[in-house]
Amino acid sequence: TQYEGVRVYSKSFSHAGGTKLVMIKDGMEKFLLAAGKGELYDALSGDEKDGYKLCPADHENRLVLNRFFPYTEPVANTEHRTSVGLGDRLGLATPGHIRAVRNTEVFPIFAQQSVRELDMTARKYEDVIDSAAYAVFQEGYKKGYGADGDHLKTKEDILKELDLGATMITLDSSEKIDNTILNLNDAELGEKYDALDESIRSYYEDKYLNESVSLGSLSFEIDRVQLMRDVLTYYAAIDFIKEVYEEIIVGYKKPLDFEISIDETSTPTSPVSHYIIARELSDRKIVISTMAPRFIGEFQKGIDYIGSLDEFREDIRSHVAIAEHYGYRISVHSGSDKFSIFPIVAEETHGKFHVKTAGTNWLEAVEVISENDPKLYRDMHFHALRKFSDATKLYHVTTNLANIEDLESVEDKDLPKYLKNNDARQLLHITYGYI
């Protein structure tokens, strides 16, 4: 609703005690408009005039909002619903995300940004939760949402983001995974394995060597070479996960969703590797919500899946068999624009999964700019070209700039077509932080 240039978000109309509250937008800024009296009115900071208080949508007032309207505070997915991480790099897209999920049973993670994304956009994690909480209030969304401390690698970062309000921790153990093991020949592998402490070798050999595993339709045997590779690759990561769980997660004061990310590896995660990790976590009493293996095929940023859909279906089916046996859901990372595999993910997981996305809404915003402000789009495009080589140091893509038509030869009305080209999509996707 518009009143003399001021937009009133009618879905946000709320009251607590003797205070009535609504969110408004004046120009480019959003505010909370409070009227009445009482504890809420007094707790909000802002300018008073004519019986009203105009309050900035800042961090301090967000904390007040959380206290009086608990649905605006992120929570854990305690019902283990199918969930989607909807990373909002701009801090502007969450109202649209809310409208997309409002009539579904999906549990949304509206506040989701990795350390890399925060660094690229010069945002803080509290800013991410602030924008999500205000969007939830603006849209009157009361079904619950989460806040993911995404791809965290250190205990210090985990504790920091929990203190700021994270309700989900995605532990990225990639720095504890030894990706060099895959390149060793059998002799080198044996030499490196023999250098391990004997207690580690005997522990894993006694449990897994020559074990025949059958989980539903999935069956395999673990031979010595496979076991050596998996132990050398993952044992330090498994120990680190145990440390984090016992020191931080298990005794935390509030319910948490705990995701293990093992997708940041140089090769796909084999079912044997997944099984050993899953069994170790279970045997060590580590309860997780989701695990993200690296699947076969390519999950590049901002474009659809690259690879055989039949092979992907077979691969995820194996991982689901392990996940279901040990009581957690499969998580799919780099999910932006992976439309061809979404039906397969839903079918093979029996509708129980987690998917992370962030780039799609950014590219949709860029497309809107190309339609409404061609000059701005052209400036963004040229700047993206200048920064592309820097961005490729942070993101793995196979973008070929030669496949993108020369911008100067394209009429304004045809600019939106640029983002139908995979190479242009990736160019604009990975340079978001520089733009």
Return the active site residues.
150, 259
Task: Categorise residue 351: left if φ over 0, alpha if ψ from -120 to 50, beta otherwise.
Answer: left
CB contact set of 246 (below 8 Å; sequence gap of 6+): none
C-alpha–C-alpha distance, residues 266 and 194, integer Å: 24
C-alpha–C-alpha distance, residues 84 and 106, integer Å: 7
- Number of other residues whose CB lies within 10 A of the CB of residue 114: 18
Task: Categorise residue 149: left if φ over 0, alpha if ψ from -120 to 50, beta otherwise.
Answer: beta
Question: How long is the chain?
Answer: 435
Listing from the earlier edge strand, what are the strands of the sheet with 47-49? 2-3, 6-16, 19-26, 29-36, 52-56, 47-49
φ, ψ dihedrals at 101, nearest 5°: -105, -5
C-alpha–C-alpha distance, residues 193 and 225, integer Å: 10
C-alpha–C-alpha distance, residues 159 and 224, integer Å: 39
- Number of other residues whose CB lies within 10 A of the CB of residue 324: 16
Distance of CA 101 to the CA centre of its chain: 16
CB contact set of 111 (below 8 Å; sequence gap of 6+): 74, 88, 128, 129, 131, 132, 133, 145, 146, 147, 148, 165, 166
